[in-house]
Amino acid sequence: MLDDYMESQDIPYTLLKNSVVNNKLSHAYLIDGSNYEKAFDFVMAFVKLIVCNNHYSNNNLCSQCNICKRIDDGNYTDVKIIESDSLVIKKEQLMDLQNSFSLTSLEGNKRVYVIKDCEKMNKQASNSLLKFLEEPCDNIIAILFTNNVSSLLSTIISRCQVIKLNNNKVFNNKAVYNFASIFCSKKEDIDFFVNDESKSKMIDDVISFIKYYEENGLDSLIYVKKLCYNIFSSREDSLMGISLVLNFYNDVLRYKFGLGNYFYQEYIYLIEDISNRNSLNKILNKIELCYNKYSDLKYNLNVNLLIDDLIIRMGECDECS
Ligand SMILES: [Zn+2]
């Protein structure tokens, strides 16, 4: 059941479940399961949710339902799993799929094909898939599954809705979600935002900057600047970046006062460390600095000036007691 992943894969779960419930499925999904050991089980749970109507009627009994059992046994004609028998997925396998799906469905419902380890498609197979993706049929859903998204053709990635599964490791998903809620009001925008990899990268960059700065101060000014340039590129990114820095020091302040509910819950070790390094006064000064820079940026401060000024004033905050 996809419901089994409600917590461990909270965001992908919500996104996919809603698209089935609201009948707004995409024609093609790319599920990136790197570092999540149960990733393919998750994919198959999603397939069953798409195909099996019993998921809503007899809910928890679905593991015993005829349709789901046939999917597990590989006997359900409207679900096809393509995988490599050796090192590559060949064009012939894609052609066979297209032929069998060109016939009328025996089950009369949605049809799904899953390409397992789709990075193993050779060039001819990829081209054949691309053609298939370019002419979507209403009732056919493609699910590409990979543990290695970076080796896929960008033309394929761009035709799919990309779903990144949470790692088994602690991952910055909660922070991305909190981040989204600052800048988006509509549910669809939030979903789009949290699945945009550049946003979680921005959080990583902000964390690297703060961690480096707090541990080394301005000893290596050039390196601090370099870290800053990762975050503050365009004006729009800078507004996001500065609000991320601001939220971090707000967490540090909350920690000082023993309050919970952190924006960066996953980085609690760092929040604790930085709280120990900074007096209350320093934290308040840094928060005030971020507020000021945020409004300066809104009223047109040049981005390069912002970086220089921010760094100098961070240093000044640390000179006070
Ligand atoms: Zn079922």
Dihedral pair phi/psi, residue 23, rounded to 5°: 55, 45
Of the CATH numbers 3.30.230.10, 3.40.50.300, 3.40.50.970, 1.10.150.170, which one belongs to the domain with range 2-169?
3.40.50.300
Distance 275 CA to ligand 1 centre (A): 51
28 strand-pairing partners: 142
Distance 111 CA to ligand 1 centre (A): 15
Distance 59 CA to ligand 1 centre (A): 8
Distance 113 CA to ligand 1 centre (A): 17
Share of the chain above pLDDT 70, in %: 95
For 273, the 3-state DSSP assignment is helix
pTM assigned to the model:
0.55
Distance 47 CA to ligand 1 centre (A): 10
pLDDT tens digits, 46-88: 999 999 877 765 556 676 788 888 998 999 999 999 998 778 9
Query: What does the block give as tokens for 103?
Result: 């016939």
pLDDT tens digits, 143-173: 999 988 888 888 888 888 888 888 754 444 6
Distance, in Å, from the CA atom of 291 to the CA atom of 293, rounded to the nearest integer, reads 6
Question: Which pLDDT does position 149 carry in this prediction?
Answer: 82
Residues 6+ apart with CB under 8 A from 166: 8, 9, 10, 11, 12, 36, 173
Distance 10 CA to ligand 1 centre (A): 22
pLDDT tens digits, 259-312: 878 899 878 888 999 999 999 999 999 999 999 999 888 887 788 888 888 888
Distance 112 CA to ligand 1 centre (A): 15
How many other C-beta atoms are found inside a 10 Å radius of the C-beta of residue 226?
A: 12
How many other C-beta atoms are found inside a 10 Å radius of the C-beta of residue 138?
A: 8
Query: What does the block give as tokens for 205?
Result: 């960059």
Distance 55 CA to ligand 1 centre (A): 6
pLDDT tens digits, 26-48: 999 999 988 677 899 999 999 99
Of the CATH numbers 2.20.25, 1.10.12, 1.20.272, 3.40.50, which one belongs to the domain with range 199-319?
1.20.272
